[in-house]
Chains A and B, each alone.
Chain A
Amino acid sequence: MLSSDALAQIDTEIAKYPAEQKQSAVMAALRIAQTEKGWLSTETIEFVADYLGMPAIAVYEVATFYNMYDLKPVGRHKVTVCTNLPCRLQGADRVAEHLQAKLGIGFGETTADGRYTLVEGECMGACGDGPLCLHNNHKMHTHLTPESVDKLLDELK
């Protein structure tokens, strides 16, 4: 199901906790699984549950609680734009509108070519650098303007 590389990463996370508390590694394991698979299918969730000796429903609870876990397939590039107040005050809605117009999709949607997914995000604790977005959950791009967004999109093949 998961590559040996991913399993090795999960094992590293498990090793951080006492042996009988493997489930403590659940968030890390889901993150690693999602990075490899692109999203978390119920099969992936069940696999992670078995791997950690947890009931599948308990892992599903975690996966549905945090919105950086994707329970549906997403595009190659998932762009999460913060639309909370501090970012908005700095022009986040202009950035968001520009992105939507340019890609022809709304929040929560994926372009037909499977290249981009747009997500409406909540405060990422970096308000001073807004407007900002997160690319594929891992890389943050700050001080966005419509122009810098265009450049970013071009870079994301």
Chain B
Amino acid sequence: MPHIEIDGKTIEVAPGATLMDAANQAGIFIPHFCYHKKLSIAANCRMCLVEVEKAPKPLPACATPVTEGMKVRTHSAKAVAAQKGVMELLLINHPLDCPICDQGGECQLQDLAVGYGASASRYAEPKRVVREKDLGPLIATDMTRCIHCSRCVRFSQEIAGRMELGMVHRGEHTEVMPFLEQQMHSELSGNVIDLCPVGALTSKPFRYSARTWELSRRKSISPHDGLGANLQLHTKDNRVYRVVPQENEAINECWLADRDRYAYEALNSEERLTRPMVRDGDKWIEVDWQKALNQAAGALRVLRDTHGGNALAALASPHQTLEELHLLQKLMRGLGSGRIEHRLGQADFSGDAKRQGVTWLGMPIAELNQLQRVLLIGATLRKEQPLIAQRLRQAVKFGAQLNVLHAADDDLYCRVANKLIVKPSAWVNALAQVAKALQEAGASLPAELAGQLNDITVSDSARAIAASLNTGERKALLLGAVAQNHPAAAQLHQLVAAIAAACGAKLGFLSPAANSVGAQLVGVQSGPVALDAKGYLLLGVEPELDAHNGPELLKALQAAECVVALTAFKGRVMDYADVVLPIAPFSETAGSFVNMEGRLQSFHAAVTPQGEARPAWKVLRVLGNLFNLAGFEQNSAEEVRQEALPQGEAGIAARLDNAIHGVALALQPPGAGIERLGEVPIYQLDPLVRRAPALQQTQDARDAACAWASGALIQRLNLIDGEHVRVRQAGAEAVLRLCRDDRLPDDVLRVAAAHPLTAGLAGRFGAISVEAV
């Protein structure tokens, strides 16, 4: 290991380290713009020039590898003169618009200009002006401010996986822009805002709304996907103004998905429910909490007393906190009901009896980068788990083989080794093929399974996947949300478990929601969603969107005698609820989520609840009191958490287990005809993102409103790409714009689930037909 002397300190550094690494190790700051620890080295800003003994000219620290015995001075007269020279050049064309720049106060150029800039410019000529670019609803541009560090360009290539920006022209004419005025469509696009060292790329929704020094920074946890990204909520006057990442190398690194970054807009939505209300015939009346709670408790009590505890059912969102979910199940069990479910989107619950543990990722999130072999099963990865997709992209870059089983051959923006793209009803068969191919290659399968594979014909792709899984080390089979909501989810799980065992891979669930693991831990799962309850208690759900079969559940709710909804938003719930209780979203309450790797992450309220909204755990506690149930005396979210998980994270780890045994396979040939692929779109995941205006203007949101089919299918059906069509499924129908995607098999129609336009359709999979309107 080489030794070097840097500013008089002798240190030992790793071979291959750069002077920048060495300086970071020694705690010495070298000014820089283009260098970023997660990106490749461009060395194009030249701000990091330092003096190296025996080198005739200053050298860029970010791009100079350390050699034995180097003597480096980062703050010598020569180094500082070089740095000041670079700063002068950078400022020549940089506008003096700091007073109206959103980056002001958190701008690297501004900060470094204080240390290295001259107080006056020697440059008297006109500065150049660069036309703005329209990058879409999320990112505002002021390209005249760009200093061409190329961080945003490298981010799009290396992390987001698709080069959406480029550095065009050269010299004084250089401009950063997308090709042909396209917008940025990456689901990770917002990160360029954090990366941009100046105010060239800033947040569009946040624009001109606050100055950074007025904002308080409150740590929190993303309530959306199962990653549990760490956030900072920036608040002022009791309002969340923006969200930025809180670095956590083990989880989100320094990134955030756009969903985590921009969903905050919904916190201030007009649709927030801020007063308790009770129904009076067709009218809603605002009442005080006392009255609303009494009415809710009274109605539920009557139902329980006349029909028994199981006449009541609770539906809860896995985006609610652990504390809330715990108290909900405690309340329901206290009332004698065992019907408490969070998996509204799931169709197949037959696996519940065949497994014991809480399903989880099967490994720490950070280990995803080290995988060598992966099989993704039913995961629309970039949209379900944008940052997991990013980690697997890094793994592929280091040689991992990524294999895919899905009904759409979406571009994952990284190389895919082998894929099986077949309609959902063929997935069980497809996995059976992979299992059989492994068996033929000498792997041993559980006896109960091995006997069932005789009639399976192994396709070349299945054999290639098996061959890939049979080599290498550090392997994982990951079940995505589409697989988890599949009508044969238990069989898929069983087969994947067998394949994982046969090839020595880990089996993981990509938990779709922030608290999917937490909801299982506190027992908010009891099997199929109750459709015959007389009274429903809803916690944070929008059943018509969240349910696998929305219309069916909607009917059940309409038929129920009493529906009490704890919700942060008004919405369809106002059509069928009898009492609505305004609860605080994650930013306004203390709570915890357990992410997909089983990590318990707690957070505090960043702002106080809007209007009369209250943290749901408090509401549930009071409901417990009204029913005179024991054990509802908690004074804080911490106390509830302590009760729910007395052993904390240690207790969680012991219960995580993806094992499954004894699911019988029904290996029928896949059905003929067109099948629906119904995924939850990226910006329809939960009630918050559904109400985030900027996210709803993105291409992803627009795409979700269409029905997608391959060109061959469109032609076969004599339909026209771009026109509206009527899709019919199990007696229900919806009118959608038809769009072409040749990455779909010719017997798959991709129609989003959890979407207002498709909420009338029954079931996310199965036979579907499409015709001209």
Interface residues of A (CB under 8 A from B): 42, 55-58, 60-61, 64-65
Determine if B180 and A58 form an interchain contact, defined as CB atoms under 8 angstroms apart: no
13 contacting pairs across A/B (C-beta < 8 A): A42-B179, A55-B162, A55-B163, A55-B179, A56-B179, A57-B166, A57-B179, A58-B166, A60-B166, A60-B168, A61-B168, A64-B169, A64-B170
Report the separation of the CA atoms of residues A26 and B165 in the bound assembly, to the nearest whole angstrom. Answer: 18
Determine if B166 and A65 form an interchain contact, defined as CB atoms under 8 angstroms apart: no
B210 CB-CB contact with A under 8 Å: no
Report the separation of the CA atoms of residues A57 and B169 in the bound assembly, to the nearest whole angstrom. Answer: 12
B164 CB-CB contact with A under 8 Å: yes
Question: Considering the complex, which residues of chain B in the window 147-161 have a beta carbon less than 8 Å from any beta carbon of chain A?
Answer: 157
Determine if B180 and A61 form an interchain contact, defined as CB atoms under 8 angstroms apart: no
Report the separation of the CA atoms of residues A99 and B163 in the bound assembly, to the nearest whole angstrom. Answer: 43
Report the separation of the CA atoms of residues A84 and B379 in the bound assembly, to the nearest whole angstrom. Answer: 59
B41 CB-CB contact with A under 8 Å: no
Report the separation of the CA atoms of residues A115 and B180 in the bound assembly, to the nearest whole angstrom. Answer: 29
Report the separation of the CA atoms of residues A57 and B153 in the bound assembly, to the nearest whole angstrom. Answer: 10
Question: Considering the complex, which residues of chain B in the window 115-166 have a beta carbon less than 8 Å from any beta carbon of chain A?
Answer: 157, 162-166
A-chain residues with CB within 8 Å of residue B504 when the two chains form the complex = none
B732 CB-CB contact with A under 8 Å: no
B-chain residues with CB within 8 Å of residue A60 when the two chains form the complex = 166, 168, 179
Min CB gap A101→B, angstroms: 29
Min CB gap B177→A, angstroms: 8
Determine if B170 and A57 form an interchain contact, defined as CB atoms under 8 angstroms apart: no
Min CB gap B265→A, angstroms: 29
B-chain residues with CB within 8 Å of residue A42 when the two chains form the complex = 179-180
A-chain residues with CB within 8 Å of residue B157 when the two chains form the complex = 55
- Other A-B pairs, 13, CB within 8 Å; known A55-B162, A64-B168: A55-B163, A55-B166, A56-B179, A56-B180, A57-B163, A57-B164, A57-B165, A58-B163, A58-B166, A60-B166, A60-B179, A64-B170, A65-B170
B178 CB-CB contact with A under 8 Å: yes
Q: Considering the complex, give the chain A residue whose CB is closest to the CB of B180.
A: A42
Min CB gap B152→A, angstroms: 12
Q: Considering the complex, give the chain A residue whose CB is closest to the CB of B167.
A: A61
Question: Considering the complex, which residues of chain B in the window 366-390 have a beta carbon less than 8 Å from any beta carbon of chain A?
Answer: none
Report the separation of the CA atoms of residues A61 and B178 in the bound assembly, to the nearest whole angstrom. Answer: 10
A-chain residues with CB within 8 Å of residue B163 when the two chains form the complex = 55, 57-58
Report the separation of the CA atoms of residues A42 and B181 in the bound assembly, to the nearest whole angstrom. Answer: 12
Report the separation of the CA atoms of residues A40 and B146 in the bound assembly, to the nearest whole angstrom. Answer: 27
Min CB gap B544→A, angstroms: 40
Min CB gap B723→A, angstroms: 26
Query: Interface extent on B, as a size class?
Result: 10 to 19
Determine if B169 and A65 form an interchain contact, defined as CB atoms under 8 angstroms apart: yes
Q: Considering the complex, give the chain B residue whose CB is closest to the CB of A54.
A: B163
Report the separation of the CA atoms of residues A145 and B541 in the bound assembly, to the nearest whole angstrom. Answer: 83
Report the separation of the CA atoms of residues A42 and B164 in the bound assembly, to the nearest whole angstrom. Answer: 16
Which of A42, A57, A60, A64 has most chain B Cβ within 10 Å?
A: A57
B-chain residues with CB within 8 Å of residue A65 when the two chains form the complex = 169-170
Q: Considering the complex, give the chain B residue whose CB is closest to the CB of A45.
A: B179
Report the separation of the CA atoms of residues A64 and B178 in the bound assembly, to the nearest whole angstrom. Answer: 13
A-chain residues with CB within 8 Å of residue B164 when the two chains form the complex = 57
Min CB gap B133→A, angstroms: 12
Report the separation of the CA atoms of residues A61 and B157 in the bound assembly, to the nearest whole angstrom. Answer: 14
Report the separation of the CA atoms of residues A104 and B168 in the bound assembly, to the nearest whole angstrom. Answer: 31
Report the separation of the CA atoms of residues A129 and B465 in the bound assembly, to the nearest whole angstrom. Answer: 63
A-chain residues with CB within 8 Å of residue B165 when the two chains form the complex = 57
Q: 1/0 per position for B21-61, CB-CB distance to A under 8 A?
A: 00000000000000000000000000000000000000000
Q: Considering the complex, give the chain A residue whose CB is closest to the CB of B169.
A: A64
Report the separation of the CA atoms of residues A58 and B157 in the bound assembly, to the nearest whole angstrom. Answer: 10
B-chain residues with CB within 8 Å of residue A57 when the two chains form the complex = 163-166, 168, 178-179
Report the separation of the CA atoms of residues A56 and B180 in the bound assembly, to the nearest whole angstrom. Answer: 9
Q: 1/0 per position for B162-198, CB-CB distance to A under 8 A?
A: 1111111110000000111000000000000000000
Min CB gap B40→A, angstroms: 14
Report the separation of the CA atoms of residues A58 and B153 in the bound assembly, to the nearest whole angstrom. Answer: 10
Q: Considering the complex, give the chain A residue whose CB is closest to the CB of B179.
A: A57
A-chain residues with CB within 8 Å of residue B179 when the two chains form the complex = 42, 55-57, 60
B-chain residues with CB within 8 Å of residue A58 when the two chains form the complex = 163, 166
Min CB gap B680→A, angstroms: 29
B-chain residues with CB within 8 Å of residue A64 when the two chains form the complex = 168-170
Q: Considering the complex, give the chain B residue whose CB is closest to the CB of A61.
A: B166
Report the separation of the CA atoms of residues A60 and B163 in the bound assembly, to the nearest whole angstrom. Answer: 12
Min CB gap B131→A, angstroms: 15
A-chain residues with CB within 8 Å of residue B168 when the two chains form the complex = 57, 60-61, 64
Q: Considering the complex, give the chain B residue whose CB is closest to the CB of A66.
A: B170
Q: Please name the 7 residue pairs, one residue from A and one from B, whose CB atoms are nearest each other, closest first.
A: A57-B166, A55-B163, A57-B179, A61-B166, A56-B179, A64-B169, A64-B168
Min CB gap B237→A, angstroms: 41
Q: Considering the complex, give the chain A residue whose CB is closest to the CB of B173.
A: A64
Min CB gap A67→B, angstroms: 9
Report the separation of the CA atoms of residues A64 and B165 in the bound assembly, to the nearest whole angstrom. Answer: 14
Report the separation of the CA atoms of residues A57 and B154 in the bound assembly, to the nearest whole angstrom. Answer: 13
Report the separation of the CA atoms of residues A64 and B168 in the bound assembly, to the nearest whole angstrom. Answer: 6
Q: Considering the complex, give the chain B residue whose CB is closest to the CB of A49.
A: B179
Min CB gap B146→A, angstroms: 15
Min CB gap A127→B, angstroms: 21
Q: Considering the complex, give the chain A residue whose CB is closest to the CB of B177.
A: A57
Q: Considering the complex, give the chain A residue whose CB is closest to the CB of B178.
A: A57
Min CB gap A9→B, angstroms: 25
Q: Considering the complex, give the chain B residue whose CB is closest to the CB of A55.
A: B163
Min CB gap A62→B, angstroms: 10
Report the separation of the CA atoms of residues A153 and B122 in the bound assembly, to the nearest whole angstrom. Answer: 46
Report the separation of the CA atoms of residues A56 and B178 in the bound assembly, to the nearest whole angstrom. Answer: 9
Q: 1/0 per position for B67-87, CB-CB distance to A under 8 A?
A: 000000000000000000000
Question: Considering the complex, which residues of chain B in the window 303-359 have a beta carbon less than 8 Å from any beta carbon of chain A?
Answer: none
Report the separation of the CA atoms of residues A42 and B162 in the bound assembly, to the nearest whole angstrom. Answer: 19
Min CB gap B504→A, angstroms: 29
A-chain residues with CB within 8 Å of residue B169 when the two chains form the complex = 64-65
A-chain residues with CB within 8 Å of residue B178 when the two chains form the complex = 57
Report the separation of the CA atoms of residues A81 and B465 in the bound assembly, to the nearest whole angstrom. Answer: 59
Report the separation of the CA atoms of residues A58 and B164 in the bound assembly, to the nearest whole angstrom. Answer: 9
Min CB gap A54→B, angstroms: 8
Report the separation of the CA atoms of residues A64 and B166 in the bound assembly, to the nearest whole angstrom. Answer: 11
A-chain residues with CB within 8 Å of residue B162 when the two chains form the complex = 55
Min CB gap B356→A, angstroms: 46
Min CB gap A51→B, angstroms: 16
Min CB gap A18→B, angstroms: 16
B-chain residues with CB within 8 Å of residue A56 when the two chains form the complex = 179-180
Min CB gap A45→B, angstroms: 8
Min CB gap B113→A, angstroms: 29
Min CB gap B162→A, angstroms: 7
Report the separation of the CA atoms of residues A58 and B156 in the bound assembly, to the nearest whole angstrom. Answer: 12
Report the separation of the CA atoms of residues A65 and B166 in the bound assembly, to the nearest whole angstrom. Answer: 11
Min CB gap A21→B, angstroms: 14
B-chain residues with CB within 8 Å of residue A55 when the two chains form the complex = 157, 162-163, 166, 179
Report the separation of the CA atoms of residues A19 and B165 in the bound assembly, to the nearest whole angstrom. Answer: 26
Min CB gap B153→A, angstroms: 9
Min CB gap B519→A, angstroms: 41
Q: 1/0 per position for B467-504, CB-CB distance to A under 8 A?
A: 00000000000000000000000000000000000000
Min CB gap B593→A, angstroms: 36
Min CB gap A59→B, angstroms: 9
Q: 1/0 per position for B563-578, CB-CB distance to A under 8 A?
A: 0000000000000000
Min CB gap B139→A, angstroms: 16
Report the separation of the CA atoms of residues A55 and B160 in the bound assembly, to the nearest whole angstrom. Answer: 13
Question: Considering the complex, which residues of chain B in the window 82-130 have a beta carbon less than 8 Å from any beta carbon of chain A?
Answer: none
Report the separation of the CA atoms of residues A69 and B502 in the bound assembly, to the nearest whole angstrom. Answer: 56
Min CB gap A44→B, angstroms: 13
Report the separation of the CA atoms of residues A64 and B163 in the bound assembly, to the nearest whole angstrom. Answer: 17
Report the separation of the CA atoms of residues A54 and B279 in the bound assembly, to the nearest whole angstrom. Answer: 60
